[in-house]
Amino acid sequence: MFVPLLRDQITAMVSFVQFSIVGCQSIFSSTMEIQVPDNCGNSPRKLMLQEFNVALASGDVEGVVSHVADDIEWKLVGDQQVSGKPAFEKALQGSNMKVARLKISNIITHGTTAAVDGELELDNGFQLAFCDVYRFTGSGAKAKIKEITAYVVSSQAR
């Protein structure tokens, strides 16, 4: 039931679930409030994932695509799968999602894997929680994202 409703929102994002205001910083861009944990800068991979998610939420397709491998696999659980950098870029460009607020709760990294969770609030007030699981081409700081599995649900109060 939610899949058709969320298709446009899901197509433009990759990561997000819940957030504790304790230990975060708040940044206001011209169109979006961004809240991220203070500890994101203690590793290059965490910082890259923070930048990736901010670029994704703000619609910076070039910034997002610069972090992915040519053979990227993007699995939107319950919706679709996108394979390859050209299809990934096309999916991002086809979105009309406008994010008013991005709140990143956690960025967890280990070896060639990582996860990011948080919440999005769209400019129409619709709220989404997300958790993205990432797999990289290697464990080095400059490794590209090879696979993203995105779990996205409505977090609207009922």
The structure's pTM equals 0.79
Give the domain ranges of the chain: 2-154
Q: Given a cut of 70, is residue 130 above it in pLDDT?
A: yes
| Tokens coding 154 | 């409505």
Give the tens place of pLDDT for each residue, 68-93.
Answer: 999 999 999 999 999 999 999 999 98
- For residues 45 and 108, the answer to whether their CB atoms sit within 8 Å is no
pLDDT value for 95: 79
- Of the CA atoms within 13 Å of residue 1, those in its CB half-sphere come to 1
Q: How confident is the model at residue 29 (pLDDT cuts 50, 70, 90)?
A: very low
User: Which residues have a Cβ under 8 Å from the Cβ of 21 and sit 6 or more positions away?
Assistant: 35
Query: Which amino acid, one-letter code, is at 123?
Result: D
User: What are residue 97's phi and psi, to 5 degrees?
Assistant: -70, 135
End-to-end CA distance of the chain: 16
Q: Which fold has domain 2-154?
A: Nuclear Transport Factor 2; Chain: A, (3.10.450)
Structure tokens at 141: 């700081």
Q: Is the pLDDT of residue 16 over 50?
A: no
